[in-house]
Amino acid sequence: MSMLQVSGASKRFGGVIANEKISLEVPEGKIIGLIGPNGSGKTTLFNSIVGYHPLDDGSIRFEGQEISHLRVPEIARLGMLRTFQQTRIYGKMTCVQNMQISKPNRNEGLMSMFDRFPKEDLARIDHLLEFVGLYSKRNLLAGDLSFGQQKLPEFAMALMNEPKLLLLDEPTAGINPTLINGLIDRLKRANEEMGITLLVIEHNMRVIMNLAEHIYCLAHGEMLAEGKPEEIQNDQRVIDAYLGAH
């Protein structure tokens, strides 16, 4: 069963075509990759999927429901979240405090610093910070973490909301090789142990080939190729796109 189905998605900004008739599927319980050279339209597609801007044409369905007309908060409530290339954490707050305000309450959206925080959620915060490898740094200001480590509280903040589908935009960018290996392991565990379906934009080919079960490749705003990692790795069209051939 497809959790996410994108059909003929097109998005233009003035005369610039960012996405042209893009179609892809993300089956429930799988890890799917999205690759392509800079400027190929990957982030634009992510933004359309999660409701940051409307499509010009096409359809986006999540668990069978058309969502292309919905905006970010409505889509988040359905169980779809995303992370960003540039982390969106609060640098002057501790890792624990970032986690506390990341969880929406029923009526107001994000938690307020004045809300009473349930003890069971405090225990979950500790568990998730341990899961991402930040438990020992939980009381440090998030802004004092290294750039690579700042990706980890954002990941934990997303997990705090128990998403069904998590879209990750270049999760390993700027992270050293040691942290990358740990993050790959945690992404796989989030998928296997927490049941979270993942759609991942990634430039590091070693990472995406070891992580994703199926990969889509965009180039110049269009779908160039799709297939299993070994098929994509040996696809001459993909090789040419990354080498700058036309």
Token output for 111: 């938690």
3-state class (DSSP) for residue 226: strand
User: Tell me, what's the pLDDT at 134?
Assistant: 94
The pLDDT-based confidence of 33 (bands split at 50, 70, 90) is very high
What confidence tens digit (pLDDT) does each residue in 71-128 have? 999 999 999 999 987 778 999 999 999 999 887 544 444 444 445 566 778 899 999 9
The pLDDT-based confidence of 215 (bands split at 50, 70, 90) is very high
User: Tell me, what's the pLDDT at 116?
Assistant: 57
What confidence tens digit (pLDDT) does each residue in 139-182 have? 999 999 988 888 899 999 999 999 999 999 999 988 888 889 99
Question: How far, rounded to the nearest angstrom, does the alpha carbon of residue 37 sit from its chain's CA centroid?
Answer: 18
CATH class held by domain 1-79+163-246: alpha beta
Q: Which amino acid is at 101?
A: I
Summary mean pLDDT of the chain: 90
User: Tell me, what's the pLDDT at 118?
Assistant: 67
Of 58-72, 91-105, 119-133, 200-214, the range with the lowest mean pLDDT is: 91-105
The angle, 0 to 180 degrees and rounded to 10, between the axes of the packed helices 147-160 and 119-131 is: 140
User: Tell me, what's the pLDDT at 199?
Assistant: 98
* Contacts (Cβ under 8 Å, ≥6 apart) of 102: 110, 111, 157, 158, 160, 161
- Has residue 246 got a pLDDT over 60? no
- The residue ranges of every structural domain in the chain are 1-79+163-246, 90-162
**Helical ranges in the chain per DSSP H:** 42-49, 72-78, 95-102, 119-131, 147-160, 177-193, 205-211, 229-233, 236-243
